[in-house]
Structure 1
C-alpha cells in the first residue's frame, strides 16, 4: 500500500511540474561576416600574406629550375665529384623549397596560424553579439546556418541574424548576390 501511495505521489509531483519548452534560433554567420569591415580587413591581410608567401615559394622553385638548367648544360664537362656536388646542391634546394611550402601552407602552418590570429577579433565580436542576443531573447540554443551542421529546413521566425547584426551596428539589408536564402522574398505562383 505504501508503494502505491508513493507512486501516486511521484506521479502527481511529476504532472504538477510544468514542462518547459526550449527556445532555439539560428544565425547566418557567413552573411554577418560579409557585412563586417573587420572581417573584410582580415581577409585582405590574409590575402597579402598568402601572395607574399606564394611568391617566396615560386622564387625558390625558379631558382631551382635555373640551377637544374645550368647543371644540364654543363653536365658533360663536369667530373664525377663535381656532378655529385651539384646534384647534392639541387637536392638541398628542392628539399628547402618543399619544406618552406609545407611550413607555410601545410597543416597548422604559418598561413593557418595567421588566419587564426587575424580572424580572432571579428569572431569574438560575433560570438559576444550572439551570446547577448541569445540572453536577451531567452534562447536555449543558437545554431549557425553557415556551419557544417546541416539545416534541412529553417523557419524564418527563428532567424536571429538581424538582431546580431543590429548588435554589431551592421547594415541588415542583403546586398545583391549576397542574400541568404531565408532573406530572399518569394512570390506565390499564380
Structure 2
C-alpha cells in the first residue's frame, strides 16, 4: 500500500511539474502570420509593379479593344446586309469575318499569356523581397515561425503591417537612391 501511495505522489509531482513547465515553454515559442494578399494590395512595391504592368501592356490592350470593336461593327454590318448580298458575296464576307475573329482570338491569347508571364515575374520580385523582410522581422523580434496561410489567426499574431511598413521604407530608400 505504501508503494502505491508513493507512486501516486510521484505521479502527482511529475504531473504538477509538467503542468508548470508547459506555460513556460508556451511563452518561449512565438508565432506570427503574414497576409500575402494584403502585401500584394498595399505594399508600394506591389503597387509599383502593377502600374508598371499596366503601362507596359496598355497599348496592346487598346489595340485588342479596337480590333474587337471593329469586328463587332463589321459583323453587325454583315448581319444587316446579308439578306441583300449574293451567295458568293455572303460566303466571302463570312469567311473574312471568321478569319478576323480567329486572328483576334489568337492575339487575345498571346496578350493574356504575355501578361501572365510578366505578372508572375513582377510578383516573384515582390515575394522575394517580402520574404527577406519577413525573415528580418522574424529574426529581430525573435519569432520561431511565420505562417503565410492559415484558416484562422488571432490578429495579435499578424505582422503584416510591420512587413508592409518595412517594404515601403525599403522601396522609398531605393527610390531615393535611384533618383540621386
TM-score, length basis structure 2: 0.62
Deviates more, 1:80-89 or 1:52-61: 52-61
**In structure 1, distance between residues paired with 2:164 and 2:134:** 9
3-state SS of paired residue (1:150): coil
Correspondence list, 1:167-178, <5 A:
167-168=166-167, 170=169
1:133 lines up with 2:134 in the alignment = no
3-state SS of paired residue (2:105): helix
Q: Which residue matches 1:150?
A: 151
3-state SS of paired residue (2:147): strand
**In structure 1, distance between residues paired with 2:77 and 2:37:** 50
**In structure 2, distance between residues paired with 1:59 and 1:136:** 53
After TM superposition, give the deviation of residue 88 of structure 1 in Å: 0.8
**In structure 1, distance between residues paired with 2:77 and 2:167:** 59
Correspondence list, 1:73-152, <5 A:
74-76=81-83, 78-105=85-112, 109-144=113-148, 149-151=150-152
The structure in which a higher percent of residues are helix is: 2
Q: Is the 8 Å Cα contact of residues 25 and 139 (structure 1) preserved in structure 2?
A: yes
Q: Which residue matches 1:187?
A: none
Q: Is the 8 Å Cα contact of residues 64 and 93 (structure 1) preserved in structure 2?
A: yes
Q: CA separation of 1:140/1:88 partners in 2, compared to 1, >3 Å: closer, same or farther?
A: same
Q: Is the 8 Å Cα contact of residues 26 and 160 (structure 1) preserved in structure 2?
A: yes
Q: Is the 8 Å Cα contact of residues 34 and 40 (structure 1) preserved in structure 2?
A: yes
TM-score, length basis structure 1: 0.59
3-state SS of paired residue (1:170): helix
**In structure 2, distance between residues paired with 1:140 and 1:88:** 65
Q: CA separation of 1:133/1:80 partners in 2, compared to 1, >3 Å: closer, same or farther?
A: same
- Compare CA radii of gyration and give the structure with the larger one: 2
3-state SS of paired residue (2:169): coil
Give the CA RMSD over aligned residues: 3.3
**In structure 2, distance between residues paired with 1:74 and 1:155:** 64
Deviates more, 1:132-141 or 1:80-89: 132-141
**In structure 1, distance between residues paired with 2:159 and 2:84:** 74
